């Protein structure tokens, strides 16, 4: 059963790819929109030459002006905040909780697909070296891993801090934005086509300062920027697994509290009490269903034995078995009191039917009899009677089962002719 459930959730995790088309399409659109944003804001800042005069610092022989600081904030901070907002809107509902599509019972299965993609990229790069298409696949896999990690972090119980997950998205977006700027500075093809625009927008100082901070060769800078989000997500997953293991060891939880989108960790069974009468929590949960079924069976048997508990519902047809003791069924147009027969009248089949308004006495033929309240509660549109359990001396209508006087030619209830 557990294997079947795991396989079903693996399929659900793969089916999420159809829902996540917004992510893959959005990455291509974001690459173009981000480039337009950088050029537009850079050219706008170039319209204010006074921003170049205040030199705030000197780094690696380069001056850091106010324009450089403003450009860095507009190119890295602004788009990263927008990325956090967009991803949270996709992964959270209006209450701030994780959407239902990502609420798997085993959240780690969310990471199976992006983790497999990145592992494959690593193995291929080790065997074939760095390739352009492989870098693109690694970029998509890294972004996918970050998004699935955020969903995983919302679903688990331990280290599930939505603000920290938003910070993870923000830092990842800053790293990828830095990689875009570095790529614009170091890529030969881009320099030849967009060099005048990039120079006027002031992209080169920011990109070169980023290279100085990373301390790597230009060829490895883009790969490093792509790898940072994956490393951060992997580090969070490692610490989360360790913290979850500690929580499971300390089980049971004294006062567990969680959000609606979280699930409790899988706990070991709670130990029995010292007197030996306590039962594990897992066994209590497992025994809840059998106990309810046993109780239902006992209630059914009690009703069949003639208890005074009212039936929970109607089926529309009441069927009496042949071994059931006869009881007068009240007609639809007569009251139950006018049609009731006393035990003395049952003993004398030829005697007249007593229609007095006195209180009815319970029939004492067997455990299957019910009182007046139960019969009224069982009143249905159709009642089927089996004449085998009736008193042989009393006449009953073959259509509706109504008791008939000895001289009746038609049934007073359904107007059906009396046979013989």
Secondary structure class of 396 (helix, strand, coil): strand
Burial class (CB in 10 A: 0-12, 13-18, 19+), 184: buried
| Sequence-separated (6 or more) residues with CB below 8 Å from residue 343 | 361, 363, 364
Which pLDDT belongs to residue 60?
62
Which pTM was predicted? 0.63
Say how far apart CA 364 and CA 319 lie, in whole Å: 20
pLDDT tens for residues 3-46? 778 889 889 999 999 999 999 999 999 999 999 999 999 999 98
For the segment 302-316, the average pLDDT, to the nearest whole number, is 38
Over residues 359-403, the pLDDT tens digits come to 444 444 444 444 444 444 433 333 344 444 444 456 777 666 677
Evaluate whether 107 touches 263 at the Cβ level (below 8 Å): yes
Rounded to a whole number, what is the distance in angstroms from the first to the last CA of the chain?
64
**What per-residue string of b and e applies to 249-261 under the rule 16 or more CB within 10 Å gives b?**
eebeeeeeeeeeb
CA proximity to 91, closest of 172, 152, 174: 152
What per-residue confidence (pLDDT) applies to 165? 96
φ, ψ for residue 95, nearest 5 deg: -90, 0
- State which of 131-145, 183-197, 203-217, 304-318 shows the largest mean pLDDT: 131-145
User: Is residue 184 pLDDT above 90, yes or no?
Assistant: no
| Interatomic CA distance for residues 32 and 3, integer angstroms | 44
């Amino acid at each position: 059963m557990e294997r079947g459930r795991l396989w079903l959730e693996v399929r659900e995790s793969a089916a999420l790819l159809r829902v996540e088309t917004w992510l893959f399409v959005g990455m291509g659109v974001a690459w173009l929109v981000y480039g337009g944003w950088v050029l537009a804001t850079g050219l706008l800042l170039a319209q204010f030459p006074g921003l170049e005069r205040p030199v705030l610092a000197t780094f690696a022989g380069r001056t850091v002006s106010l324009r450089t600081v403003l450009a860095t904030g507009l190119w890295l901070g602004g788009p990263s905040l927008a990325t956090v907002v967009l991803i949270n809107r996709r992964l959270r509902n209006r209450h701030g909780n994780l959407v239902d599509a990502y609420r798997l019972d085993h959240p780690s299965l969310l990471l199976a697909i992006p983790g497999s993609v990145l592992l494959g990229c690593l193995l291929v790069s080790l065997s074939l070296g760095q390739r352009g298409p492989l870098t693109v696949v690694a970029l998509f896999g890294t972004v996918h891993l970050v998004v699935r990690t955020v969903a995983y972090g919302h679903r688990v119980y331990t280290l599930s801090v939505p603000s920290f997950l938003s910070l993870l998205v923000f830092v990842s977006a800053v790293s990828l934005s830095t990689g875009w700027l570095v790529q614009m500075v170091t890529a030969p093809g881009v320099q030849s086509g967009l060099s005048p625009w990039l120079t006027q927008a002031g992209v080169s100082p920011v990109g070169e300062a980023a290279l100085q901070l990373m301390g790597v060769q230009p060829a490895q800078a883009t790969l490093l920027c792509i790898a940072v989000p994956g490393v951060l997500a992997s580090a969070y997953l490692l610490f989360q697994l360790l913290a979850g293991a500690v929580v499971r060891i300390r089980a049971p939880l004294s006062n567990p509290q969680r959000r609606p989108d979280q699930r409790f960790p899988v706990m070991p069974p709670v130990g029995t009490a010292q007197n030996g009468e306590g039962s594990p929590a897992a066994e209590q949960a497992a025994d809840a269903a059998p106990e309810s079924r046993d109780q239902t069976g006992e209630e059914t048997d009690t009703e069949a034995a003639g208890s005074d508990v009212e039936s929970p519902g109607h089926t529309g047809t009441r069927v009496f078995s042949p071994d059931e003791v006869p009881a007068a069924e009240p007609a639809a147009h007569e009251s139950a009191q006018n049609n009731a027969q006393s035990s003395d009248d049952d003993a004398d089949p030829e005697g007249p039917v007593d229609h007095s308004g006195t209180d009815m006495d319970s029939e004492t033929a067997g455990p299957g009899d019910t009182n007046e309240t139960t019969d009224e509660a069982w009143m249905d549109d159709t009642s089927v009677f089996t004449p085998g359990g009736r008193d042989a001396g009393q006449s009953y209508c073959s259509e509706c089962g109504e008791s008939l006087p000895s001289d009746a030619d038609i049934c007073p209830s359904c107007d059906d002719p009396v046979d013989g």
